[in-house]
Structures are given as structure tokens and as C-alpha cells.
Amino acid sequence: MDGVDYDEFGLFHENAEEYGLPFERPPAVRRVRVEVAADRALSALVWGDGEPELVLLHGGAQNAHTWDTVALALDRPLVAIDLPGHGHSDGPGERPDGLLSAEGLAVDVAAAVRQLAPEAAAVVGMSLGGLTTIALTKVAPELVRKVILVDVVPGITGARAKHITDFVNGPPSFASLDELLDLTVQFNPTRAVSSLRRGILHNAEQQEDGTWVWRWARHRTPLSADPGTAAADDRSHLYDGLWASVSAVAVPLLLARGMRPDSVLGDEDEEELLRRLPSARVVHFAEAGHSIQGDMPLELAALIVDFVFRD
């Protein structure tokens, strides 16, 4: 791997050191694959040995390892799933162009949750994972007891998400890991370089010719951006009807909203959520952008505990 020694379970000490978390021994984490259709499977990280208490769903162009620091801080049994076409999961199977509707994603996720975490107390979804969570409340409501949306509601405008779209629409391959890291540092100037390098190792892979590509579905199928934040192209219709699903949510729902300019939400989005679902709770993260799990992971973990296990 271009001189890179990568062990996906060997980097947790870096997460702990970066955020001052105790680390006496590596956590109990294993990767599993579960069949969701006759010819497709989803991959997931199972944390801990007990019955999983939480399901974590990442955003578009990410993977289950985006939750590593949050999972370490939570120190509870949980499952972090690679969405279809992301991480180590098989590609989507609903459409020939590789695209899935929110309900299509939710159908696959529901099949995985039924096998891995049927009694989970909550589903936490960031961006595309949040839209999938909303759809999951319709597709398999028995699997969703509480909902946490991380910096997403339906109907995000393309203009507000342009910085994400531009990054995802970057080069399809990179000559070296350093080249890939340089681009990622430019996109995430507030993050530690060591953190970004760790994230790349989890989210990219080296090809036989020595070049590097992202693991997400973009290098397998035509995915131009995180569908959780891209309404600028012709695929926004794949997420129609989600506001109606929000209005019908019958379980406690919380929105964690990043307040930095690189969030994709505005005040009008928060207001629309509360108009549609007056019982919803909103918590602002002043020092976080779109990826709150990366910008303020300890604070997000504390909020999850308070909302899911103490409220």
C-alpha cells in the first residue's frame, strides 16, 4: 500500500489521544457482513460484546469509521453500518445507474439492523444517513425508537452544499496518498492533519497501478455528491416525500445542527422542521460544521447519551 501500513483496527489509539479519551486497551470491534438481498451484503462495525444499543449511519462519501471517536466516547455496544456503495458494503442494487432512493437505502439498512441491532434504542444518522433514518421510520418503524439527525433535514439546497459537492466531484483518482491528503486538508482546514490522514486510510484504497481512489460509490457508479446535501442535479427527486415522513414521526426526534458556515442548514431549515414536527428538539453545536461527529465528537456523544438514555 505505497509503503503505508494500514490496520483498520489499529488506529483507535490515535482517536483517543487526539481527544484525551482513556485508552487502556483496544476496544472490542469487529467487522461483519450481512446479506440484505440475494446478491448483496452490507458491511458494519460492531462495537462491544453486548446487545447493540445504537445504530449509527454515516453521510454520503463517508463510511462507518467516521463514528470512531464518538463510539469510543460512548463506550456502549453499538453498530455503525457502511451504507450501500460505501466503505466495505456492496453497491446499491435498486437502479441500473447505481442510485438509490431514500426508501431504497432504508430497505437495505432495515435488513441489516434486523440482523444486528433489532432492539437498538435509537438510530443516529448524519446527512445521507439522516435522510435514510427518516425513511427508515416509514419503511421499518419497529426498528426506530428514537431519532437523532446530524446536520440534515429534507430539501437542502444545492447552493448551501456546494462546498461538499465540489469536494466530492474532485479528481476520480490520485497519484499518491499525499496528493489525496493535500486535497482533504484544503477541504477541512480546521482538522488535525493526523485525523484527516486516518480518515483517508479508512475511506480510500490503492489500486494495482499505484493510484488511490475513494472507497465510496463514486468510483464504482456515477455518484456525483452526497444525496443528503445535493439538490443541484436531477437526482433530488429520489428524496421526495421525506418531509411528509418527518411529519409522521411518532418517536422522539432531535436535530444536532452545526453552526459554522460549512454546515448545510439555515434557520429556515430548523424552522421548517419545528413547523412539521413541533415535538422535535434542536441542539446547536457552535464550533461544528456539517460533520459534527468529526468537529465535536465528545459533545455529540454526550448529547446522544442524554437524549437516548436519560430523557
Q: What is the pLDDT at residue 169? A: 76
In the residue annotation, 209 being an active-site residue is answered as no
Select the more confidently predicted residue: 229 or 185.
185
Domains of the chain: 12-157+226-310 (3.40.50.1820)
Say if residue 231's pLDDT is above 50.
Answer: no
Q: What is the pLDDT at residue 198? A: 94
d(CA 75, CA 69): 10
Select the more confidently predicted residue: 237 or 275.
275
Q: How far is CA 93 from CA 64, 99, 221, 239, in A?
A: 20, 8, 11, 17
Say if residue 223's pLDDT is above 50.
Answer: no
Res. 35 pLDDT band, cuts 50 70 90: very high
In the residue annotation, 43 being an active-site residue is answered as no
C-alpha cell belonging to residue 120: 437498538
The stretch 33-60 carries a mean pLDDT of: 96
d(CA 180, CA 171): 9
In the residue annotation, 290 being an active-site residue is answered as yes
Say if residue 32's pLDDT is above 80.
Answer: yes
Select the more confidently predicted residue: 122 or 208.
122
Q: How far is CA 160 from CA 127, 236, 237, 256, in A?
A: 13, 14, 18, 17
Say if residue 151's pLDDT is above 50.
Answer: yes
d(CA 261, CA 283): 16
Q: What is the pLDDT of residues 288-297, one digit of tens each?
A: 999 999 999 9
Q: What is the pLDDT at residue 3? A: 58
d(CA 225, CA 234): 12
Q: Could you say which of 43, 101, 127, 291 is catalytic?
A: 127
Say if residue 5's pLDDT is above 90.
Answer: no
Say if residue 232's pLDDT is above 80.
Answer: no
* Percentage of the residues of the chain whose pLDDT score is greater than 70: 88
Please provide residue 289's backbone torsions phi and psi, each rounded to the nearest 5 degrees.
-100, -135
Q: Could you say which of 269, 290, 291, 295 is catalytic?
A: 290
Q: What is the pLDDT of residues 161-174, one digit of tens each?
A: 888 888 887 888 89
Say if residue 219's pLDDT is above 90.
Answer: no
Select the more confidently predicted residue: 158 or 278.
278
Q: Whole-number mean pLDDT of the chain? A: 89
Q: Could you say which of 151, 226, 269, 295 is catalytic?
A: 151
Q: What is the pLDDT at residue 21? A: 97
Res. 227 pLDDT band, cuts 50 70 90: very low
Q: What is the pLDDT at residue 93? A: 66
Query: Where on the phi/psi map is residue 98: left (φ > 0), alpha (ψ -120 to 50), or beta?
Result: left
